[in-house]
Amino acid sequence: LPVSIIAALPIVRRLQEHHYEAVFVGGSVRDTVLGLPVKDVDIATSARPEQVLKLFERCIPTGLQHGTITVIHDSVSYEVTTFRQESVYEAHRKPESVLYITDLEGDLLRRDFTMNAMALTDKGELLDPFGGLRDLKRGTIRCVGDADSRFQEDALRMLRAIRFIGVYQLSPALQTWKALIRHRGLMKYIAMERVQAELDKMLAGEAPQRGLHFVADSGLLLYLKEPFLEETERLLKGNYRSKNPVMLFSRLNQLKSVDLRWAAIAIGTNMSLEAVLHMLRVLRFSNNRIKSITAIVAIHKEILMHAEETDERKLHLSWISAIIRYGERSAIEWLEVARTISEPQQTLPADLLTRLADWLNKMPISSLKQLDVCGNDLTAHVKRPAGPWVSEWLNKLLLMTASGGLPNKRMQLIEQAIKWDEEDNNHE
């Protein structure tokens, strides 16, 4: 057994000492079977929530109405959920009420896919009434029971299916896939936050391109409460259907962070900046994430505009001002994205990227904070009343310094400002 499961054994044992049944369930069992690192360990038990609460010192009644208690043991939280059956589902999502039951198999029956409906005992024995292990070995994702009803009950399961397909590189069982296509119209019942969470997990996984392929093939995203992707969906479809598929998606998993992957998709499908912003807002991304993803896309658009530039100096300056505008971190991230999607059908030649990276490395400073003068220095030495010229000149000095045209030395920067002042005066 993996260490994180072993660490949770005392909880299971404690329940058993009190004559309750208790087993490991869910993702931790699936990942154990696959030999993958186990994330959160979930426990299912015949004990009622109030009985669970009595047995453990540190617990939080997280989802009391659904029978879930969070038990904290050695500073790790575990979800302990009473065996249950789900009754009528409300609006194709949450069960209206749950019914506590005493047998494990009934509890496994309510779960979404066979690979998620396995249990592991404290002795390391696998309980697998629906053939989850066989399906996993074949690389198949299959609904527990009748796929049509499972997707109708809870439409989120369709998106979970696609997420798991991407993360574990699976293929859907035929009936599961047919049912998914039949019921994709129910996607409109799913909260956009949930859509984001699933897409994020899918993209963060091992085979994001496979997930995207199934996203496109299923057309799921065309049926959302707030659709956003019609254009991109079509592009994705175009990419996968064309004889000469754009390779960029096959390299997505070389990008370390999921936000870089989002940016790469936006760039690869040639979305406009407005479309990217709209997509991220509709998906309820945080402002911070929106900012860093759109910065990468914006840098790409700017560099594309100047990529044909034959005048080295102009190209250099436009790159330096993009770095100043969007920040060094975003510039580095963009380079990473651009390198990943640049070959073989690329938008930007590899040697251009090398040159840009080189210029970035040689950049002495990239922000006003690092400049050796401030606004007060300028107003003290240049004899004109404070005004918008101060920040204008600071930015000009920054650009000159950042591009290597001027050393970042207080006296020299001030001299340059005085020179500009004299030039202006001579003109008048």
| Phi, psi angle pair for 63, to nearest 5° | -130, 55
Nearer to Mg ion, 41 or 378 (CB): 41
How wide is the angle at C-alpha 51 spanned by C-alphas 50 and 57, nearest 5°?
Answer: 90
Closest residue to ligand ATP, based on beta-carbon distance:
27
Residue 198 interacts with ligand ATP (CB under 6 A): yes or no? no
With contacts defined by CB under 6 A, name the span among 38-46, 98-106, 327-335, 410-418 that binds ligand ATP.
38-46
Q: Is 142 in the site for ligand ATP (CB under 6 A)?
A: no
- Give 27 or 131: the residue with its C-beta nearer to Mg ion: 27
Pairing assessment for the beta strands 89-90 and 59-63 based on DSSP bridges: unpaired
Q: How many whole angstroms from its chain centre is CA 71?
A: 28
> Minimum distance between the CB of residue 40 and ligand ATP, rounded to whole angstroms?
6
Q: How far apart are CA 46 and CA 81, in angstroms?
A: 9
Distance between CA atoms of residues 44 and 121, nearest Å: 10
The reply on whether position 26 binds ligand ATP by CB under 6 A is: yes
Task: Write the CB contacts of 189 (distance below 8 Å, at least 6 apart in sequence).
Answer: 91, 92, 93, 155, 225
Given a contact cutoff of 8 angstroms between Cβ atoms, the answer to whether 365 and 400 are in contact is no
Interface segment toward ligand ATP; rule CB under 6 A; list 4-12, 112-120, 121-129, 247-255: 112-120
For the chain, give the number of residues.
428
State which residue, 99 or 386, has the beta carbon closest to ligand ATP. Answer: 99
The pair of structure tokens assigned to 402 is 């950042």
| Residue showing tokens 């310094």 | 401
Of 4-12, 34-42, 313-321, 406-414, the segment contacting ligand ATP by CB under 6 A is 34-42
Q: Considering only residues 70-89, where is the footprint of ligand ATP by CB under 6 A?
A: none
Confirm if 202 and 163 have CB atoms less than 8 A apart: yes
Question: Minimum Å distance from CB 29 to ligand ATP?
Answer: 8
What does 157 interact with, of Mg ion, ligand ATP, none (CB < 5 to 8 A by kind)? Answer: ligand ATP
Q: Which is nearer to Mg ion, 170 or 352 (CB)?
A: 170
Does residue 92 interact with ligand ATP by CB under 6 A?
no
- Residue 183 interacts with ligand ATP (CB under 6 A)? no
Which helix H or strand E contains 407, and what residues bound it?
A: none
C-beta of 141: minimal distance to ligand ATP in Å?
Answer: 11
Q: Is 213 in the site for ligand ATP (CB under 6 A)?
A: no
Q: Using only C-alpha atoms, what is the Rg of the chain? A: 28
Whose Cβ is closer to ligand ATP: residue 170's or residue 267's?
Answer: 170
Rounded-to-integer distance, Cα 129 and Cα 117, Å: 8
> Based on CB atoms, which residue is closest to ligand ATP, 144 or 378?
144
Sign of the alpha-carbon torsion through 54, 59, 61, 67: negative
If contact means CB under 5 to 8 A according to the sort of partner, which of ligand ATP, Mg ion, none does residue 154 touch?
ligand ATP
Binding site partner of 142, from ligand ATP, Mg ion, none, Cβ cut-off 5-8 A by kind: none
In the bound complex, what is the minimum distance in angstroms from residue 116's beta carbon to Mg ion?
9
Q: Which of 21, 107, 112, 333 binds ligand ATP (CB under 6 A)?
A: 112
Residues that bind Mg ion in the complex, under the rule CB under 5 A:
27, 40
Please state, in angstroms and rounded to a whole number, the distance separating the CA atoms of residues 230 and 221: 8
CB atoms within 10 A of CB 185: 12
Residue 179: CB atoms within 10 Å: 23
> Rounded to the nearest whole angstrom, what is the least distance from the CB of residue 80 to ligand ATP in the complex?
13
